[in-house]
Structure 1
Amino acid sequence: MQHEGVKPVPVTFIGVLNTCDSVAALEEDRRVHEQIIEIGCESDIFVSNSLMDMYAKCGSMEDAWRVFNQMPTHDVVSWSSLILGHVKCGQGLKGLELFQQMQCEGVEPNSATFMGVLNVCASLAAFEEGIHIHSQIIKCGLDSDFLCLIALLTCMPNVGA
């Protein structure tokens, strides 16, 4: 595309970033990030969220945090990327801490966020916290959401009994 002289637009980068998810590809991913900066679309929240998600999937939470801290605003996707990234990197307690901070800042969790924190509860055998999160899922009206149901069954296997 670039050899043909076609300039990428934000959605182009989102598509490219969604294919980047391994530590081995991290240097290539950073070059994509440099191009995003050169073109000037790093302030697009969708591009920034995709960058954070990519860095988190690659295990580079330092880079994910750098992107997060440079964003003017954060939405549920921004927060969820950080939370799920920490969970993936074996930092579940940090994920739970961020989940609480996200809510304190008035951002409502979605099913992906709940799935991540319920997986932390399962891995830490934090069933009390899992029960509390289950009540939040009900309050948000996500109690019939497929992702939430799967995560609940993982966290609390006796829920369906």
Structure 2
Amino acid sequence: MLLTEQFSNDYISSLCKQNMYNEALVAFDFLQNNTNFRIRPSTYAGLISACSSLRSLQLGRKVHDHILLSKCQPDVILQNHILNTYGKCGSLEDARMVFDEMPQRNVVSWTAMIARCSQNGPENECD
């Protein structure tokens, strides 16, 4: 990994850990538009969690789209973050899509989906 990639990932992750979500997403925008660097799965997790904290469905979809277009193979942890973000942002449809496409689910996946259904969906939506 190039030093600049490592620095960029560390910088964005640091901003997320400091709850500087808007700044982290601005840095992500800048870097994705101006360089060709790889984002680590842990950095994606911080970015998608930032979108969740901001309750921004639009930004969550943007980061998720970037994940899908990248060569990153999201693990169950990153997929749970994406699932949780869609649920917290009120998009049960997107959350269900992520859940249905997960090759592996764990207790967190099921709990997140059940919680989002109970908060956002009609009673029969999560059958």
TM-score by length of 2: 0.66
Instruction: Give the 3-state SS of the residue equivalent to 1:156 in structure 2.
Output: helix
Residue 93 of structure 1 and its aligned partner are, at CA, apart by: 2.4
Instruction: Give the 3-state SS of the residue equivalent to 2:65 in structure 1.
Output: helix
Q: What are the Cα deviations for residues 41-76 of structure 1, in whole angstroms up to 9, with x where unaligned?
A: x6473x654442231132323246437827832222
Q: Percent identity?
A: 11
2:85 is the alignment partner of 1:120: yes
63 and 116 in structure 1: CA distance in 2 versus 1, 3 angstrom threshold: closer
Q: Separation in 2 of the partners of 1:72 and 1:125?
A: 31
Match of 1:130 in 2: 95
Match of 2:58 in 1: 93
1:86–1:92 contact (8 Å) kept in structure 2: yes
Amino acid at match of 1:147: V
44 and 117 in structure 1: CA distance in 2 versus 1, 3 angstrom threshold: closer
1:127–1:155 contact (8 Å) kept in structure 2: yes
Bigger RCO (CA 8 Å, 6+ sep): 2
48 and 147 in structure 1: CA distance in 2 versus 1, 3 angstrom threshold: farther
147 and 63 in structure 1: CA distance in 2 versus 1, 3 angstrom threshold: same
Residue 133 of structure 1 and its aligned partner are, at CA, apart by: 0.8
Instruction: Give the 3-state SS of the residue equivalent to 2:86 in structure 1.
Output: helix
The 5-angstrom pairing of residues 12-31 of structure 1 reads none
Match of 1:57 in 2: 17
Q: Separation in 2 of the partners of 1:92 and 1:125?
A: 8
2:64–2:82 contact (8 Å) kept in structure 1: yes
Q: Separation in 1 of the partners of 2:58 and 2:81?
A: 11
1:73 to 32, 35, 38: 38
Instruction: Give the 3-state SS of the residue equivalent to 1:114 in structure 2.
Output: helix
TM-score by length of 1: 0.55
